[in-house]
Structure 1
Amino acid sequence: MAMSGGGDKTTFYISVLLCVFAGSFQYGYNISSVNGPAVNIKDDLYNPFESGKAVYEIGEDGSVLENPVPTCPNISSVADCAACAEEIACTSDFLLEADRALHITREDQYSYAVALFTVGGIVGSFSVKPVVSHFGRKKGQLVNMIISLGASILFVGAKHYNSHICLVVARILIGLFSGLATGICPMYIIEMSAQEDRGWIGVLNQLLITIGILVAQIVALSSTMRESWGIYMALTGVPAIIWIALMGLSYESPRYLYLEKNDATNAARVLKKVRGTDDVEDELDEMKAEHEKSLSEENMSIGALFTSKDVRWQLISIAAMMIAQQMSGINAVFFYTNKIFESAGFTNETSTKISVLIGALNVAMTFVSMSLMEKAGRRSLMIYGYGIMVVFCVLLTVALKSLHVGTWVSYVSILCVMGYIVGFAIGPGPVPWIWATEFFKQSARAAGASMGCVICWVCTFIVGKFFPIAEAKLGPYVFIFFGMVSLFAFLYCLKITPETKGKSFEEIQVYFAKLNGVEISDEEMKLADNREE
């Protein structure tokens, strides 16, 4: 991987690693943490049966009546009731109808609790701009860690007290945390990085997300999940505790100090510390020039992004990339890998193990992306990544429609999913988060990052909500839609987006100024003409 030279940069590495471990890792962990204990949570919190009590009577219209029907005192779940159906004085028809009605009820209740994670994420995304502008990048992380700890306590309470309310509030809070983390973490680590480090440092965000997903998948295999699911979900708070304990070792973003707090003295002090050298005049001069230019500009609100000509194509590009990242189907693949492999003929146990391997592949390929980011460039990795995804979306559709040909086709479907993950991980996964910081000038960066997060979370919600419906109606052909979205992103990157590798923030702004039709000076024009094609 490419790293800049210079002196001891330990402080820099500590600051960015603490940020992505406590923020991005937690986000990834919570994407998957709810999947493993799903059955256990439903049994504990949404179980209509209680030992020694009663099941509910089903009316002629299929509704659940208030009058209970006495039953065996050993029954504690729907599964127990169905298992001993032949041993108690109930008709099998009654049990089947009761199981159907009560199963639907608890599935709806559980889905509601799960979906609140996305709702919290959307609220958190809208909160990025006010949080980082008011508290700063570092203290904004502290606010977020406190939110995470609150969610962790409630996860334990949900299990200990069998409390649906605790779970619902915990899911909202951890969604709020995740929405903030997806905005704050990429912004902080990019602003902390030297120009030559921004690429591989930016990939750390996606890398820790993928590691968090993988850890949650591995934890889900635990044999003690039934008794301890509250603790497993509360493990999300461990990184928050570590961050708070070590927060004194990290520093505020020098760009935030100089450009937003007008504190040149502390900005210079921090910059020397994180670069490991006193030779930081070039960076300070760049910040000074940007600061003088921004004196006539106020920090943009999210609403101002939509009316300012200066950031028109930056906003369009980030919106397009965030929409493409989610609507190309990555969350559908991660959320429903078990279902995909089961439709290919694998058992649930085998499908779960394959899903863990897919998660490991995602981590491995993100490491590859990190090593290539400063060699191949952001734009090139996006183009190659989406090109690979288009190919494997088509091949996966063909494979799932051809399962009747032979058992070997099932293994082809695994290879197609793996190929799709490879394409996503090398570019479309990490790069949009880097661009969300690189594309916007300082006065618009917080609002731009916030808007990018909002778009990402809304698309995540849409995919999670409607993919099962689309898959039920279209079958494997749903991956053709994902392939078309990937093709759009491929062409957009090929024609519109600039290569930001090796570019200063000022050079990137000059490119977009030309695209936006904004007047630029002769000196800025030279910068634009010299940009890499």
Structure 2
Amino acid sequence: MPPYNTILPARISSRDQGRTVPFPSFGQLELLESGQHAPGESRQGPEDKRTIKPGPSGATVVPQASGTEQGPGIPDGAAHLFSHLDGMENRETPPPAPPREPLVPAQGWGPWPPMHGQPWTSLRSSLSLDFGPRASSSLGGSDTAAATETPGPTLPSAARNCGSLVGAGLDFPGKEFQRVPLQPTLLLATLSAAFGSAFQYGYNIAVVNTPHKVLKSFYNETYFERHGAFLDEGTMLLLWSCTVSMFPLGGLLGSLMVGQMVDKCGRKGALLINNVFAIVPAILMGVSKAARAFELIIFSRVLVGICAGVSYSALPMYLGELAPKNQRGAVGTMTEVFVIVGIFLAQILSLQAILGNATGWPALLALTGVPALLQLLSLPFFPESPRYMLIQKGDEEAARRGLRRLRGCGADVEAELEDMRAEEREERAAGRPSVLRLLALRPQRWQLVSVVVLMAGQQLSGINAINYYADTIYTSAGVEAAHSQYVTVGAGVVNIVVTLISAGTVERLGRRPLLLVGYGICGSACLALTAALLLQHQVRALSYLGVAGVFAYIAGHSIGPSPVPSVVRTEIFLQSSRPAALTVDGAVHWLTNFIVGLLFPSMQEAIGAYSFIIFAGLCLLTAAYIYIVIPETQGKTFVEINRIFAKRNGVEVPEDRADPAGGRPPLPSAPAKETPF
């Protein structure tokens, strides 16, 4: 290729004279040094031609079909890029350019990304091509050409139809990195699924905490009406312990059911069927006072626990498979966002001035059925997971229709479908593991250990201890007992705000930094709380440090340990392994939840405030594991993440040698961020 003098400015006039050089169908283009040919000299190719117009700092190259008038077209910055594409199979980087005068882009065009001497992978995040008002195209953009001006040269029809360079049939390293804007269908599907599922989990965790005295009074009155005597203290404690502990027990049962449900009924189907476990207990709890039967409340807590167990595993699976990879983190964190919204709304509604009183508690408990009804009315109108339809049902056309609805009209979905086919090919070789086989499967070993550590660390990091100690800490700081419920609501606001910040930054900062920072803050807050609780009687000001420690811990947990595992546990498994893996994941989550609730009161009685030192140590161990073992999954396909873990597991995953459809070589992927492991 002859030397070129610069990336050329991107503006021409249809009245300018120039010369033409061969440019067959976006093939190799010779960018000639300025002055090498006289103005007006032309060489024509058989398919189309390009016009080069001399200018003060370079030249302008424009595609021009034979017999058409010159007009605005593709800026030569794109032509400069295209001139290197055909040779990308033989080299990793373009040749370095000789030093020349810097480019000053013509008015109306933005600066082109740096190209000389960079690896092709560096273009993935920075490349964005804008071809002007009449031939607009960008990665993931759409063609908005106006037909009112003089017709000029246009992009190939595939690019016009798809609105992206990917649609033009060009193989280059940015192909699989197109950024898809958030579409209304995806947004509404996320809201419908999360509000009707994850919200139930959060709401039923907190709904019995504030009005517990009112509910215990109902138990006592009902028992007196039956037996003519009040409950003794031991029996009351047993009944209330059953009321509270039946929820995580139901969650464990639900987590064991979810694998079969999402395989047989689909992701969306499992969520819709799961609403039965919310509507039936809502009715039972709503009529329990009129029926004078506190047993209905205890039984209903098992059913809403099953609802929470199914939704906490099925919802991340559904959302993770709906979202494009550049939005997978933000969409995936909606599981935890709506859990926290449910907790916060339960704290508000259970205030004594609203529904947390002797007359309002039946309605308070029955409200759990409202989100389920809304989901039953709305979720059927949204598509099933395209990955489920293609990989597990073999219905490619249904998967294509679903992707087009989720990605927007005119979006190029073929690249994403090909990614699913690649995942399907790898899964056919590996097989579809059951839960028992997954536990013994070497290619999934570190993924399984990682998800167990993430979910156990989430519960064992001390969040339940913080909730248990919160009222004591607030009272020691001078907050009256009657007002501590409002401070709890304030902590709920902090929880929601920080979780939303985490959801908005997870695609920019990545998963690992949020997890590491979150566990670091939680561990530090636990140490501060230990000092405050031990020394606040000697130093009065330390009681305020305890309040600050509670809020800091809640903020730290909301940054990473709460929302991010919902994203990572979906990303690190392929389609066939995901149901079995999330069954294990859910079982660990609910078992550790139950164990902490069972053992923490005894541990607190034995060692008091020193229990927070244990939680600080567990935070440190979890953070160390994340730093050493878990890779960054941001911006990677499920297949790419699986290949990273294949190296961890010491197994070889066969690479796709060629695209079966077009016989093209595989596109290079972003290098994985290495961990110390």
Instruction: Give the TM-score band, short-chain normalised.
Output: 0.7 to 0.9
Q: Separation in 2 of the partners of 1:343 and 1:308? A: 52
Match of 1:70 in 2: none
The counterpart of 2:365, out of the listed 233, 247, 253, is: 233
Q: Distance in 1 between matches of 2:358 and 2:425?
A: 60
Aligned counterpart for 1:169 among listed residues 287, 299, 317:
299
- Contact 2:459–2:589 under 8 Å retained in 1: yes
Conserved 8 A contact 2:518-2:559: yes
Call closer, same or farther: CA 1:143–1:529 in 2, change over 3 Å.
closer
Partner in structure 1 of residue 155 of structure 2: none
C-alpha separation between the residues in 1 aligned to 2:529 and 2:424?
50
Are 1:355 and 2:485 matched, yes or no? no
* Map 1:119-134 → 2, pairs under 5 A: 119-134=249-264
* 1:488-507 equivalences in 2 (<5 Å): 488-507=621-640
Q: Which residue of 1 aligns with 2:672?
A: 531
Asked whether 1:410 is paired with 2:554, we answer no
Counterpart amino acid of 1:250? Answer: F
Q: Please, which of 34, 44, 49 is the counterpart of residue 208 of structure 2?
A: 34
Corresponding residue for residue 255 of structure 1 = 387
Whether 1:244 and 2:388 are equivalent positions in the alignment is no
Cα deviation per residue 1:325-366 (whole Å; 9 max; x = unaligned)?
Answer: 100011222344223434555432232221111111110100
Of 159-168 and 506-515, deviating more is 159-168
CA distance 1:499–1:527, change in 2 (3 Å): farther
1:46, distance to aligned residue in structure 2 (A): 3.3
Residue by residue, what CA displacement relative to the aligned partner does 1:412-469 show, whole Å, maximum 9, x if unpaired?
1010111111111111111111111101111101111111111010000011111111
Q: CA deviation at 1:50?
A: 3.9
Q: Tell me whether 1:341 sits opposite 2:341 in the alignment.
A: no
What is the aligned-residue RMSD (CA, Å)? 2.2
Partner residue of 2:641? 508
Cα deviations by residue, 1:180-210 (Å, 9 ceiling, x for unpaired):
0100111110110000001111111111111
Secondary structure of the 2:275 match is: helix
Aligned equivalent of 1:18, options 192, 205, 210: 192
Whole-Å separation in 1 of the counterparts to 2:444 and 2:322? 23
Contact 1:272 1:280 in 2 (8 A): yes
Give distance in 2, aligned partners of 1:53 and 1:140.
Answer: 43
User: Compared with structure 1, are the counterparts of its residues 6 and 118 closer, same or farther at alpha carbon in structure 2 (3 Å cutoff)?
Assistant: closer
Matches within 5 A, 1:157-196: 157-196=287-326
Instruction: Tell me the equivalent position of 1:484.
Output: 617
State whether residues 211 and 352 of structure 2, in contact with CA within 8 Å, keep that contact through their aligned partners in structure 1: no
Q: What's 2:516 paired with?
A: 383
Structure 2: how far apart are the matches of 1:485 and 1:215? 30
Contact between 1:394 and 1:479, CA under 8 Å: does it hold in 2? yes
Q: Go from structure 1 to structure 2 and tell me whether the alpha carbon gap of 1:219 and 1:304 turns closer, same or farther (over 3 Å shift).
A: same
Partner of 2:502: 369
Tell me, yes or no, if the aligned pair for 1:392 and 1:419 is still in contact at 8 Å: yes
- How much does 1:522 deviate? 6.2
Supply the distance in 1 between the matched residues of 2:512 and 2:401 (Cα, whole angstroms): 34
Distance 1:273 1:49, change over 3 A: closer
Q: Is the 8 A contact 1:47 1:106 kept in 2?
A: no
Contact 1:48-1:102 at 8 Å conserved across structures? no
Aligned partner letter, 1:494: Y
| Matching residue's letter, 1:162 | R
Letter in structure 2 aligned against 1:176: I
Match of 2:237 in 1: 107
Q: Deviations over 1:253-279 (max 9, x none)?
A: 001101111111100110111111341
Distance 2:543 2:400 in 1: 58
Instruction: Tell whether the 8 Å contact from 1:27 to 1:178 is kept in structure 2 after alignment.
Output: yes
Give the letter for the 1:121 counterpart.
Answer: G
TM-score of the superposed pair, with normalisation by structure 1: 0.87
**What aligned pairs does 1:284-299 form with structure 2 within 5 A after superposition?**
284-299=417-432
Other-structure match for 2:593: 460
Change (3 A) 1:488 1:527: farther
The superposition leaves residues 363-410 of structure 1 with CA deviations (integer Å, 9 ceiling, x where unpaired) of 010011012101110011111111111111101100111111343222
Residue aligned with 2:496, SS: helix
Cα distance in 2 between the residues matched to 1:354 and 1:528: 49
Amino acid at match of 1:158: S
Letter in 1 for 2:483: T
Write the distance in 2 (CA, Å) between the matches of 1:259 and 1:289.
10
Displacement of 1:521 after TM fit? 4.0
Residue aligning to 2:26: none
Would the aligned equivalents of 2:333 and 2:564 in 1 still touch at CA under 8 Å? yes
AA of the residue aligned to 1:105 = T
Is the CA contact (8 Å cut-off) linking 1:11 and 1:249 kept in structure 2? no
Indicate whether 1:216 and 2:346 are aligned: yes
- Alignment partner of 2:333: what SS? helix
Q: Contact 2:510/2:633 (CA < 8 Å) preserved in 1?
A: yes
| Structure number with bigger Rg | 2
Give the C-alpha shift of residue 489 in structure 1: 1.0
Could you tell me which amino acid in structure 2 is paired with residue 44 of structure 1? F
Do the aligned partners of residues 528 and 402 (structure 1) sit closer, same or farther apart at CA in structure 2, a change above 3 Å counting?
farther
1:170 and 1:53, CA in 2 relative to 1: closer, same or farther beyond 3 A? closer
State the shift of 1:104 in Å.
Answer: 2.4
| Deviation of 1:45 (Å) | 2.0
Q: Distance in 2 between matches of 1:400 and 1:269?
A: 58
Question: CA contact under 8 A between 1:46 and 1:109: conserved in structure 2?
Answer: no
Q: Structure 1 residue 38: deviation in Å?
A: 1.2
SS of equivalent residue, structure 1 residue 443: coil
Q: Distance in 2 between matches of 1:10 and 1:265?
A: 22
What whole-Å deviation, never above 9, does each CA across 1:222-277 have from its counterpart, x for those lacking one? 43421121110110110001111112322100011011111111001101111113
The alpha-carbon distance between structure 1 residues 336 and 133, as it changes in their structure 2 partners (threshold 3 A), is: farther
**Which sections of structure 1, spanning at least 5 residues, go unmatched?**
56-77, 79-100
Contact 2:222–2:292, Cα closer than 8 Å, also in 1: no
Kindly state the Cα deviation for residue 34 of structure 1 after the two structures are TM-superposed: 1.1
Q: Residue 329 of structure 2 contacts residue 506 of structure 2 at CA under 8 Å; is this kept in 1?
A: yes
Matched, 1:145 2:275: yes
- The alignment partner of 2:550 has SS state of helix
CA deviation after TM superposition for structure 1 residue 162, in Å: 1.9
For CA contacts below 8 A with separation 6 or more, give which structure has more relative contact order.
Answer: 1
Aligned residue number for residue 83 of structure 1: none
1:268 alignment partner in structure 2: 400
Aligned twin of 1:519 = 652
More deviation in 116-125 or 3-12? 3-12
| 1:137/1:529 CA distance change after superposition, 3 Å | closer
Q: Distance in 2 between matches of 1:418 and 1:117?
A: 26
**Larger mean Cα displacement after TM superposition, 351-360 or 192-201:** 351-360
Matched, 1:46 2:220: yes
- Counterpart mapping for 1:74-89 below 5 A: none
Change (3 A) 1:139 1:51: closer
Q: Secondary structure at the match of 2:433?
A: coil
More helix by proportion, 1 or 2? 1
Contact residue 510 and residue 632 of structure 2 kept, 8 A: yes
- Aligned residues of 2:203 and 2:339 also touching (Cα < 8 A): yes
Superposed counterparts of 1:62-77, under 5 Å: none
